[in-house]
Amino acid sequence: MNNVRMIEFKDIVDENNKERPMGHLTPIESGQDIPFEIKRIYYLTRVPENTIRGFHSHKELQQVLLCLNGRVTISVATPYEKELITLDDPARGLYIGPMIWREMYDFSPGSVLVVLASQHYNEEEYIRDYRSYCEIAQEYLKGE
Ligand code: T46
């Protein structure tokens, strides 16, 4: 789907110390691992079971979603197609560009969803009404 893709980050495991595992280290560098300058970071934690969040699109915002602990399912859609993506690996991020309708659900207990965003928070930039979204997205996608 246009404007949606997975990004693989480095997963550094120090294997020199065989007797004592040292865990994983994942570096993320703005402009290198992320295709935009990071202007905002926020995270979703302690999301109760059976909660569904999202139900909106953004006009221009680009974001990368990372699940640092646990699991969460993300539905990404345009008026023409839909994909379900499970995030459960801190070394993989989901890039979501402009004009993608998203919903987030199946948050596992203790899950931590971190979002890196290309712009500061601006409610004017959201499209929260699905019918308006479809009209605007159909025009937008003609130009793609
Ligand atoms: C997305 C998913 C993963 C702020 O004040 N600042 C912020 O930076 C954000 C993101 C939200 N808010 C306020 C606005 C609302 O009153 O927090 C409340 C909930 O925000 P929102 O409806 O945006 O939350 P989600 O979890 O439905 O969606 C957010 C992002 O908006 C969305 O782009 O991909 O998290």
Query: pLDDT tens, 31-42?
Result: 899 999 999 999
57 lines ligand 1 (CB under 6 A): no
Please tell me the pTM assigned to this model: 0.95
Q: Could you give the count of Cα atoms lying within 13 Å of 37 in the half-sphere of its Cβ? A: 3
21 Cα to the center of ligand 1, angstroms: 37
Question: Residue 19's pLDDT is what?
Answer: 77
Contact of 98 with 136, CB cutoff 8 Å = no
Q: Which two tokens stand for residue 11?
A: 């997963």
What are the tens digits of pLDDT across the range 61-89? Answer: 999 999 999 999 999 999 999 999 999 99
Active site residues: 56
Q: Is the CB of 115 under 6 A from ligand 1?
A: yes
Q: What percent of the chain has pLDDT over 70?
A: 99
Ligand 1 site, residue 53, Cβ cutoff 6 A: yes
Atom 12 in ligand 1: which residue has the minimum CA distance? 121
Confidence of residue 97 (pLDDT cuts 50, 70, 90): very high
* Res 89: pLDDT: 97
Ligand 1 centroid – CA 40 distance (Å): 12
Distance from Cα 135 to the centre of ligand 1, integer Å: 22
Q: What's the rounded Cα separation, in Å, for the pair 130 and 31?
A: 32
pLDDT at 20: 79
What's the CA gap between 59 and 127, in Å, rounded? Answer: 7
Burial class (CB in 10 A: 0-12, 13-18, 19+), 16: exposed
Q: Quick check: CB of 74 below 6 Å from ligand 1?
A: no
**CA of 134: how far to CAs of 78, 107, 108, 141, in Å?**
8, 27, 30, 10
Question: Which pLDDT does position 48 carry in this prediction?
Answer: 96
Q: Report the C-alpha gap between 75 and 106 in whole angstroms.
A: 11
